[in-house]
Amino acid sequence: RDERTLMSYGVEDNSLLELVDPNMKFRSCNNTGNRFVDVCSTKGLKQAEWSRIAPRWRRAGHGLCFEGQCLNKECEAYRHTVIMPIGYQKFDILIDTDQETTICPLCKYYVEPVACGFSNCWWRYEGIKICNSGPPKRCSSDWKHADDAYHRFDENPSEHVTWRKLIFEVVKKRPNLEPMELPTTLSRPSPG
């Protein structure tokens, strides 16, 4: 323990300090987490039917897809929201996001994911989000089903929160559910 003040180390008034833990495997957003859509709020979850005229950078695959903006000025998709198919897997958005997994489908440059979508899969999440007031909040979902359409969270920045932890688990076939665990189904409205 050191009794010296910050000024005695040459730190001036109104300086911005950044705390760095050298033992952390991954650091992002000043060590507080990643900004990403609030998946706890299903009001932002929209269903889109498949389109034959979507631009090449907006082609979704089955399972988990991430969305983000391509910032490569040389790319045809520059400043457009691109879709990055991830597929069926367990994905930790703070650890597994890198220059090989979340890339623009055209130029292959890294894209920071800000939203996600699902198709033809079962999915759930577990996370810790930082609330505007109060302590960080643990949240998770039961298994949800996404049918043969693209179910996406709106990437509206006002709906984004900071996540300290956010893990998606996405599988192709219906998981074995505990007797008391009922799935939430995301599907087309039934006619009539």
Say if 83 falls within a structural domain: yes
pLDDT, position 145: 95
Q: Convert the pLDDT of each residue in 26-83 to its tens digit.
A: 344 344 789 999 999 878 889 998 989 999 999 999 999 999 999 999 999 999 999 9
Does the structure show a pLDDT above 80 at 129? yes
Query: Whole-model pTM?
Result: 0.75
Q: Is residue 61 part of a domain?
A: yes
* Whole-number pLDDT of residue 154: 77
Task: Return the pLDDT at 134.
Answer: 82
Closest CA to 33 of 116, 117, 128, 100: 128
Q: Across residues 170-186, what is the average pLDDT? A: 70
For the chain, report the end-to-end CA distance as a whole number of angstroms.
71
Whether residue 69 lies inside any domain: the answer is: yes
Report yes or no on 192 lying in a domain: no
12 belongs to a structural domain: no
Residues in the chain: 192
Separation in Å, CA 36 to CA 15, 102, 127: 28, 14, 11
Structural domain span for residue 110: 28-173
The pLDDT value given to residue 32 = 72
Is residue 60 included in any domain, yes or no?
A: yes
The SS3 of residue 175 is: coil
Residue 87 lies in a domain: yes
What pLDDT score does 57 carry?
A: 97
Beta-carbon contacts of 180 under 8 Å, excluding residues fewer than 6 positions away, are: none
Specify the pLDDT at position 21.
42
In tens, the pLDDT along 79-98 reads 999 999 999 999 999 999 99
**pLDDT tens column, 98-121:** 999 999 999 999 999 999 999 999
Asked whether residue 152 carries a pLDDT value surpassing 60, the answer given is yes
Total tally of structural domains belonging to the chain = 1
pLDDT in the model for residue 1: 55
More confident residue, 184 or 20: 184
Residue 23 has pLDDT above 90, yes or no: no
